[in-house]
């Protein structure tokens, strides 16, 4: 199973990533806040302890007196039996009393204005401590002596409190995250239900059902449904065209075959070899026409616009010349003047060589078929800066201008035409021109008489043509 | 380990000149060796401020229970126990177990992180009030008592409480002038601790101190020293003596009467700890666990008047029996960081100044 196949999983992953990020942030915040709360709670006790000591200090008879109360140490030791330390120094650093030599706060902590108690972290013999330093004064009538009290405790209790607080937040956050996940799963199921419905609707279709989908879906899916519907419509049109083509082709093939059958039956009733000979001649002629018709049908199906054929560089001058030369015998037979007009240099177009040959052959065949003897047919090729125009003109009977729009349709025949053609020649020309990105149009022929077809190709770039020369 | 002595206990008495800052015990450090009876042996060094004759039943029972332990018991005064512990960081002569009745100093060591926690079954079940962080264990329950000679009761009703003592001292016909002996807080930190707790317990202590001064009391450095004076008749009443030693002495000297004060009686406990840098921590843990065990506690209740602290123990000397007699009058000195204040030099100076003032005032 490819990873791309599950839309639900993609959504889940992309919702989970930000969720994880948010949960991490929340937990970091919860941890710092838990530590801060625990510190604040216990810092209050440190402050109280230092205050108790400060209140007991007296100056008498030129000496400092302190009746250190047990409570000052007991409240910061607490029920969890923290280790406690204290130290009293004069501001000049001279030590007055204490049970340990304690670290001093950094300058930063001391610079806070309007505050005479500072809390900071430190270490004593490798034990992490929380310390509070209080600036105080012993005031007598004649002077005021500054001194510092530092009280400290180990961090066990506050770490535990922080831990407990954090555990609470952790639990809440995890529950919230799990609920959110469940919610997302549920929401995804509900939100993706229209897609499931669409899938089921498509899966349950009969293969020949090409009618548009009519589902009540969210508007985000409109485009998808519209695309699907237009694809279905194209399929339906193409199928219809194919069916019509097959029906037309069968119909077209039936007429000459019926003629062949009737001629053969008629000849079989005759007894004279001369009659047989005449009948065989007609049969041969009709068989040729039928062969030509089936060839054209085959060609038409092969150049159907959806069949991709490789394009190479082709010399159109060479191709046109060759076609004119090939048909020269037939033109002479019909006393038609078939000529080629154009310079000798190569004219490169990107295309499929056999298709371009078929295009030329059909145009020439058409002209030769409809032109009476002593007509002129002129094949011309003009290579301009940005386009190449191939024209096949004649001065035959021509086609009424009102038929021009229909001439390139399949099986269309102009009203004036005899029964020789089958109405596929120009349709093939049009299909091939389309597949080469060329424009095609028809107009009156030589001197405003007759009929002409212009095919205009885009010029291939000279650089891409360069290596062919 | 060389074992030149086969009989137990072998006693090497090393008489040392020590400072007289002793807290209740003898002035000399005595070393007692209990050799292991099976190999391989495991050494165990105990530094204690506990008279050997009091500790002997415990040491014998312990070495019988653990014959592989090669036990060396050295009896110092409390000051030396503390001093050696503090110096052991540099001198590498740490003991495996420290025992001392100098509660503030033991607390000072534990608070400074010198002790390591003990996690044995008996330690885990030890009452919360009698331990600190499982680093410091109180295993005895020794009341602070008054001791008087029996002949005192023929001249006056002997005082049974602080209040009666104060009344007796203040009485114009008092027989106690120059006959009372108590700790000199300048010399004995143990006496200082008792004085501070007395003062904290009741402001009337200063009235008693005043009365003692009026009665020209004598001062002593250790309980044994003061008991000796009472036996010899130089004094007739001792105030604030260590009950365990007094009872031990009274066993041989029936003329001594030990009185647990009826209004309130301080109770001190002996504290054991194991230093962090103990060279044989396993053996040390075994010994502390033994002190807290039913067997060890029973010995303290029956063989030696240290008073078993554990509830369930039966015997003449237990905290339980003492409580049933003295009731709510017993006030064990709490084992907490409040003890540290007693070591504060400024607090001591304040107390001693007041003490001295009382004496000069009465002159």
Order of strands across the sheet that contains B271-273:
B10-14, B29-34, B69-75, B42-48, B97-100, B271-273, B136-138, B131-132
**pLDDT at residue B137 greater than cutoff 90:** yes
The answer as to whether B228 is a domain residue is yes
Inspect the interface and report whether the beta carbons of B113 and A71 lie closer than 8 Å. Answer: no
SS (H, E, C) B190-258: HHHHHHHHHHHHCCHHHHHHHHHHHCCCEEECCHHHHHHHHHHCCCCEEEEEEHHHHHHHHHHCCCEEE
Residue A130, φ and ψ in degrees, nearest 5: -110, 130
Inspect the interface and report whether the beta carbons of A74 and B338 lie closer than 8 Å. Answer: yes
| Structural domain boundaries enclosing B244 | 143-267+342-362
Q: Do both B65 and B109 map to the same domain? A: yes
Residue B24, φ and ψ in degrees, nearest 5: 100, -15
Inspect the interface and report whether the beta carbons of A65 and B349 lie closer than 8 Å. Answer: yes
Order of strands across the sheet that contains A452-458:
A337-341, A376-383, A387-394, A452-458, A439-443
Q: Do both B241 and B166 map to the same domain? A: yes
Q: Do both B59 and B159 map to the same domain? A: no
Q: Do both B75 and B163 map to the same domain? A: no
Provide the CATH number for the domain around residue B160.
3.40.190.10
Q: Do both B254 and B314 map to the same domain? A: no
Question: Using a CB-CB distance cutoff of 8 angstroms, which residues of chain A are in contact with residue B345?
Answer: 97
In Å, how far is B216's CA from the nearest CA of chain A?
Answer: 27
In tens digits, chain A (469 residues) has pLDDT values of 444 567 778 888 888 899 999 999 999 999 999 999 999 988 999 999 999 999 988 888 878 888 899 999 999 998 889 999 999 998 888 898 999 999 988 776 555 566 788 899 999 988 999 999 998 888 877 788 888 999 999 998 889 999 999 999 999 999 999 999 899 889 888 888 888 888 888 888 887 788 888 878 888 888 888 888 888 888 888 888 788 778 777 877 777 788 888 888 888 888 888 888 888 888 888 888 788 778 777 777 766 554 455 678 888 888 888 888 888 888 888 888 888 888 778 888 888 787 888 888 888 888 888 888 888 899 998 888 888 889 998 888 888 888 787 878 776 766 555 545 556 778 878 888 887 888 888 888 888 888 889 999 887 654 444 333 3
Which of B200, B338, B345 is opposite residue A97, by nearest beta carbon?
B345
pTM here? 0.68
Inspect the interface and report whether the beta carbons of A68 and B347 lie closer than 8 Å. Answer: yes
Q: Is the peptide bond before B40 cis (omega within 30 degrees of 0)?
A: yes
Q: Identify the closest residue of chain A to B347 by CA–CA distance.
A: A67
The answer as to whether B332 is a domain residue is no
Question: Using a CB-CB distance cutoff of 8 angstroms, which residues of chain A are in contact with residue B132?
Answer: 81
Q: Identify the closest residue of chain A to B343 by CA–CA distance.
A: A99
Q: Do both B197 and B221 map to the same domain? A: yes
Q: Do both B92 and B114 map to the same domain? A: yes
The answer as to whether B4 is a domain residue is no
Inspect the interface and report whether the beta carbons of A73 and B341 lie closer than 8 Å. Answer: yes
Q: Do both B43 and B120 map to the same domain? A: yes
Which of B108, B336, B349 is opposite residue A99, by nearest beta carbon?
B108
Domains and CATH numbers, chain A: 3-164 (3.30.450), 219-301 (1.10.287), 310-466 (3.30.565.10)
The answer as to whether B16 is a domain residue is yes
The answer as to whether B2 is a domain residue is no
For chains A and B, CB pairs below 8 A equal: 58
Inspect the interface and report whether the beta carbons of A66 and B346 lie closer than 8 Å. Answer: yes
Query: Is B233 touching A (CB cutoff 8 A)?
Result: no
Q: What is the dihedral of CA B5, B6, B8, B14, to 10 degrees?
A: 0
Q: What length does chain A have?
A: 469
Q: Do both B161 and B173 map to the same domain? A: yes
Q: How far from the centroid of its chain's Cα atoms is residue A402's Cα?
A: 47
Q: Identify the closest residue of chain B to A100 by CA–CA distance.
A: B112
User: pLDDT digits over B189-220, tens only?
Assistant: 889 999 999 998 888 999 999 999 988 899 98
Cβ within 8 Å of A, B 79-118: 108, 111-113
The answer as to whether B31 is a domain residue is yes
Contacts of B159-163 with C-beta under 8 Å, sequence gap 24+, read B159/B237, B159/B259, B160/B259, B160/B261, B160/B262, B161/B261, B161/B262, B161/B263, B162/B202, B162/B204, B162/B208, B162/B261, B162/B263, B162/B264, B163/B204, B163/B263
Question: Using a CB-CB distance cutoff of 8 angstroms, which residues of chain B are in contact with residue A84?
Answer: 111, 337, 340
Q: Do both B231 and B356 map to the same domain? A: yes
Query: Is B337 touching A (CB cutoff 8 A)?
Result: yes
What's the token pair of residue A193? 């239900």
Q: Which residues contact B315 (CB under 8 A, 6 or more apart)?
A: B298, B301, B302, B308, B321
What's the token pair of residue A124? 């004593």
Inspect the interface and report whether the beta carbons of A66 and B347 lie closer than 8 Å. Answer: yes
The overall average pLDDT reported for chain A is 83
Query: Is B345 touching A (CB cutoff 8 A)?
Result: yes
Question: Using a CB-CB distance cutoff of 8 angstroms, which residues of chain A are in contact with residue B351?
Answer: 67
How many Cα neighbours within 13 Å face the side chain of A248? 18
Q: Do both B203 and B242 map to the same domain? A: yes
Crossing angle for the helix pair B52-65 and B281-292, nearest 10 degrees? Answer: 110
The answer as to whether B205 is a domain residue is yes
Q: Do both B164 and B133 map to the same domain? A: no
Question: How many domains in chain B?
Answer: 2
The answer as to whether B92 is a domain residue is yes
From CA A422, how far away is CA B313, in angstroms rounded? 128
Question: Using a CB-CB distance cutoff of 8 angstroms, which residues of chain A are in contact with residue B343?
Answer: 99
Contact yes or no for A168/A49 (Cβ under 8 A): no
């Amino acid at each position: 199973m490819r990873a791309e196949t599950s839309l639900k999983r993609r959504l889940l992953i992309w919702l989970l990533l930000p969720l994880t990020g948010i949960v991490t942030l929340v937990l970091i915040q919860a941890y710092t806040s838990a530590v801060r709360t625990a510190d604040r709670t216990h810092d209050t006790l440190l402050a109280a302890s230092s205050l108790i000591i400060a209140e007991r200090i007296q100056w008498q008879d030129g000496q400092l007196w302190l009746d250190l109360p047990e409570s000052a140490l007991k409240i910061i030791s607490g029920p969890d039996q923290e280790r406690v330390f204290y130290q009293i120094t004069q501001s000049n650093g001279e030590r007055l009393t204490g049970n340990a030599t304690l670290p001093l706060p950094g300058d930063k902590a001391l610079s806070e204005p309007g505050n005479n108690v500072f809390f900071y972290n430190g270490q004593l013999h490798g034990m992490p401590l929380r310390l509070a330093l209080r600036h105080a004064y012993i005031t007598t009538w004649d002077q005021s002596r500054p001194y510092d009290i530092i009280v400290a405790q180990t961090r066990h209790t506050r770490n535990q409190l922080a831990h407990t607080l954090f555990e609470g937040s952790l639990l809440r956050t995890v529950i919230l995250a799990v609920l959110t996940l469940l919610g997302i799963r549920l929401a995804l199921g509900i939100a993706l239900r229209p897609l499931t419905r669409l899938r089921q609707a498509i899966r349950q279709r009969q293969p020949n059902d090409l009618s548009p989908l009519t589902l009540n879906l969210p508007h985000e899916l409109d485009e998808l449904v519209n695309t699907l519907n237009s694809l279905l419509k194209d399929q339906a049109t193409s199928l219809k065209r194919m069916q019509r083509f097959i029906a037309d082709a069968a119909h077209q093939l039936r007429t000459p075959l019926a003629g062949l059958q009737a001629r053969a039956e008629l000849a079989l009733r005759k007894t004279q070899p001369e009659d047989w000979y005449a009948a065989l001649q007609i049969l041969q002629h009709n068989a040729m026409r039928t062969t030509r018709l089936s060839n054209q049908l085959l060609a038409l199906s092969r150049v159907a616009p959806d069949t991709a054929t490789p394009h190479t560089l082709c010399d159109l001058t060479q191709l046109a010349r060759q076609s004119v030369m090939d048909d020269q015998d037939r033109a002479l037979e019909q006393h038609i003047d078939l000529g080629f007009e154009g310079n000798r240099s190569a004219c490169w177009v990107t295309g499929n060589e056999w298709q371009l040959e078929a295009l030329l052959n059909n145009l020439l065949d058409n002209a030769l078929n409809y032109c009476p003897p002593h007509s002129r047919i002129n094949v011309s090729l003009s290579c301009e800066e940005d386009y190449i125009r191939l024209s096949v003109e004649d001065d035959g009977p021509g086609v009424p201008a009102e038929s021009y729009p229909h001439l390139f349709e399949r099986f269309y025949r102009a009203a004036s035409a005899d029964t020789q053609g089958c109405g596929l020649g120009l349709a093939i020309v049009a299909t091939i021109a389309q597949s080469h990105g060329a424009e095609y149009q028809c107009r009156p022929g030589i001197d405003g008489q007759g009929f002409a077809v212009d095919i205009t190709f885009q010029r291939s770039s000279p650089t891409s043509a360069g290596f062919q020369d | 380990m060389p074992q030149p002595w086969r009989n137990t206990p072998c006693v090497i008495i090393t008489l040392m000149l020590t400072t007289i800052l002793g807290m209740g015990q003898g002035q000399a450090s005595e070393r007692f060796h209990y050799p292991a009876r099976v190999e391989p042996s495991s050494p165990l060094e105990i530094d204690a401020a506990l008279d050997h004759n009091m500790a002997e039943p415990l040491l014998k029972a312990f070495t019988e229970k653990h014959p592989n332990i090669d036990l060396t018991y050295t009896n110092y005064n409390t000051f030396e126990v503390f001093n050696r512990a503090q110096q052991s960081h540099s001198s590498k002569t740490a003991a495996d177990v420290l025992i001392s009745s100098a509660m503030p100093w033991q607390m000072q060591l534990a608070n400074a992180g010198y002790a390591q926690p003990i996690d044995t079954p008996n330690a885990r079940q030890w009452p919360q009030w009698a331990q600190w962080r499982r680093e410091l264990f109180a295993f005895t329950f020794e009341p602070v008592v008054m001791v008087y000679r029996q002949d005192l009761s023929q001249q006056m009703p002997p005082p049974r409480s602080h209040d009666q003592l104060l009344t007796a001292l203040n009485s114009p016909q008092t027989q106690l002038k120059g006959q009372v002996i108590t700790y000199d807080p300048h010399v004995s930190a143990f006496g200082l601790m008792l004085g501070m707790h007395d003062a904290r317990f009741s402001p009337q202590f200063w009235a008693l101190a005043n009365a003692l001064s009026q009665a020209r009391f004598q001062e002593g450095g250790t309980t044994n020293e003061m008991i000796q004076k009472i036996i010899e008749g130089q004094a007739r009443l001792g105030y604030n003596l260590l009950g365990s030693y007094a009872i031990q002495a009274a066993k041989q000297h029936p003329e001594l009467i030990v009185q647990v004060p009826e209004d309130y009686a301080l109770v001190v406990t002996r504290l054991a700890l194991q230093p962090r840098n103990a060279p044989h921590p396993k053996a040390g843990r075994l010994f502390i666990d033994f002190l807290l065990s039913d067997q060890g506690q029973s010995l303290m209740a029956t063989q030696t008047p240290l008073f078993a602290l554990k509830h369930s123990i039966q015997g003449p000397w237990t905290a339980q029996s003492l409580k049933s007699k003295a009731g709510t009058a017993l006030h064990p000195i709490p084992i907490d960081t409040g003890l540290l204040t007693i070591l504060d030099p400024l607090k001591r100076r304040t107390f001693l100044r007041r003490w001295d003032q009382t004496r000069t005032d009465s002159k």
